[in-house]
Chains A and B, each alone.
Chain A
Amino acid sequence: MHEKLGEHILWHVPVLGAVHGDTIVTTWLVMVIALLFFGWVGASYRSAYQSRRQVVLEGVVNYIADLATSTIGPKGEPFVPFFIALFIFIFLMNQIGIVPFKILGIPFGGSPTADLATTVALSLIVFCLTWIVGIRYTGMKRIKHLVQPFWWLFPINVIDEAVRPVTLAARLFFNIFVGELLFLIIASIIQSRISIGFFNLSLTAAILPFFIQFFNFFVGTVQAFVFTLLAIVYLALSISDDH
């Protein structure tokens, strides 16, 4: 096993301390890809004709925008661009793991979301957004939610609020991480050339990576969608007046 999972290149930055260099470089790469992609789609708006790429992206944007405005209500309209950006950013970060950078000899690669640092940062963004926007929209009522319906439910409400970013981060991280881990396990089975009698286990296992890659693509899409949808639901819970 030359490949090591869960080990990152450490960069020593003066203020922050040790940071994961490969995750940062891959995230920058995803940002560049996203910017180029949006530039490419946006360039088609210069002509009067409606191109295919425009229609595909507008489908995604409309879907998330409808979801946000129907869940949060008219108050949610300013946050629609944030949710669209969140979905497409997480989607691209999940799917960049399909490119075998490390096999090509490039030291970074793998999904940035298979690193707990990325997902915790994303979930903290959502957590801060729900609290700041909730307090700005409903004032002290947002804090009063913690002691409703009874004052002695305060600890349970605090746990409920605190567990949200934790599960949001852990869900995305473990889904992508286990997807990469399955690849390494299958690779180790293939590499070790096991045969039990006439049954060649390693040769049989060589068909599995195709199915696992399909599964990973599905899981990456669904988890990006689930992350966005839960962010929408948390924001809706946070700025609704009743409840």
Chain B
Amino acid sequence: MTSQALVAAATLIAFALIVTGVAFGSAIGDGLVASKAVEAIARQPEARPNIFTFLFLGVGVLEAFPIIGLGLAFYMLFGIVGLPSGIYAALAGH
């Protein structure tokens, strides 16, 4: 029982670390892309539709990596801890 609890705790910590990492990285990347897009639009307002295309392409490509990380983290979490049936039932007290 204690080793199971240890594994569950370690999995939760690992999940939190993964989510922190991917959120941190993607937030910085999104900020860079958006700031550069605003700069470019301010410099060349007539190129706005073109810039929007590449803004969405950049954000779409960039957002894929945190989502992939999040998906793999969820796989790990549900594979080891079994969150929906385990943790929440324990939290709710039944």
Contacts and interface: CB of A to CB of B under 8 A. Distances in A.
Interface of A: 1, 67, 167, 170-171, 174-175, 177-178, 181, 184-185, 188-189, 192-194, 219, 222-223, 225-226, 229-230
B71 interface: yes
18 contacts: A170-B64, A174-B64, A174-B67, A174-B68, A174-B70, A175-B67, A185-B83, A188-B83, A188-B88, A192-B88, A193-B92, A219-B63, A222-B59, A222-B60, A225-B60, A226-B56, A226-B61, A230-B57
B3 interface: no
Interface of A is mostly: helix
A194 B68 CA distance: 29
B87 to A, nearest CB: 9
Contact of B84 (A170, A175, A188, A219): A188
Interface residues of B, number: 20
B32 interface: no
B56 A225 contact: yes
Nearest to B85: A1
A40 B70 CA distance: 40
B60 to A, nearest CB: 4
Contact of A192 (B61, B70, B91): B91
A170 B74 contact: no
B44 interface: no
Q: Which 6 A-B pairs have the closest CB atoms?
A: A226-B60, A171-B64, A188-B84, A174-B71, A192-B88, A192-B92
A185 B84 contact: yes
Contact of B57 (A174, A192, A229): A229
B6 interface: no
A213 to B, nearest CB: 17
Nearest to B58: A226
B53 interface: yes
Given A222-B63, A226-B60, 13 more contacts: A171-B68, A174-B67, A175-B63, A178-B67, A178-B71, A181-B74, A184-B84, A185-B83, A188-B84, A194-B91, A223-B60, A225-B60, A229-B53
Contacts of B5: none
Contact of A67 (B53, B61, B63, B85): B53
